[in-house]
Amino acid sequence: MKSTKIAMLATALLLALNASAQEATIRKNLAERIPQLQKIDEVGKSAMPGLYEIRVNGTEIYYTDAEGNFLLQGNLIDTKLRRNLTEERVDKLTAISFDALPFKDSFSIVRGNGKRKLAVFEDPNCGYCKRFERDLQKVDNITISMFLYPILSADSNEKSKHIWCAKDKAKAWQDWMVRDKPAAVASCDTSALERNTEIGRKHKITGTPTLIFADGTRVPGAIAAAQVEKYLAGGKN
């Protein structure tokens, strides 16, 4: 019995050493051949035998063989389960816990009983956001935590500052996005906008609007009010 345990431990150690050596080989070869991949965050086996996942820059996914001789960029699809494994991996890497969001750097728009929760990152110069906001007026019994995310232009930052510094942020925001009425010039501490930009970059929020639902589901881009309702109800289609 004791010899069996020793053999199992030895096997586990050997496998770990082999995996470490394999990773070292992949890192060395890719760094030498593709300088842009010198800083690899993680190397690991993928779901496909013989294929290794390479993660760089936090959330960028590539695939390679055991020697780092070939490099693939694209989606790895599980055809049996009909799952996009690459997309699922990136979603996991960029996931944002709803409860962990810095709500102090947002303002709330409450409709009806406000029981349902939604967080949105938006730029005041985003045309898609305006269309989304106008359609979102149809959704009731919701609390929307609005994170101003001025990433499109310098003017976006100026507009965001005036909205953030308004006496009634929610009204100033909806006046502009829904009724094309600019916010009055105002000044105050706008460091929240900088923090919003930082958290957006950290979680790879590259476009607006970006929606985050209470269950952690993240939706990039403008969607119809009917789709918002389905997400709020726990459905994704």
Nearest one of 137, 160, 162 to 150, comparing CA atoms? 160
Give the number of other CB atoms < 10 A from CB of residue 129.
Answer: 24
Instruction: Provide the pLDDT confidence category of residue 15 given band limits of 50, 70 and 90.
Output: very low
Using CA atoms, how far residue 229 sits from 54, 142, 161, 173, 226, in Å, is 37, 10, 30, 22, 5
CATH 3.10.450.70 fits 2-93, yes or no: yes
pLDDT, tens digit, 9 for 90 and up, residues 204-232: 899 999 999 998 888 989 999 999 999 99
Distance of CA 86 to the CA centre of its chain: 14
Q: What is the mean pLDDT of residues 116-144?
A: 97
Tokens of 53: 């996942």
pLDDT tens per residue across span 165-209: 999 999 999 999 999 999 999 999 999 999 999 999 888 899 999
Domain ranges of the chain: 2-93, 98-232
The one-character DSSP state at 141 is S
- Pairing assessment for the beta strands 116-122 and 210-213 based on DSSP bridges: antiparallel
45-98 pLDDT per residue, tens: 999 999 999 999 888 999 999 999 999 999 999 999 999 999 889 888 877 889
What are the φ and ψ backbone dihedral angles of 61, each rounded to 5 degrees? -115, 130
Give the number of other CB atoms < 10 A from CB of residue 27: 17
pLDDT interval class at 11 (50, 70, 90): low
Quick one: CATH architecture of 98-232? 3-Layer(aba) Sandwich (3.40)
Whole-model pTM: value is 0.71
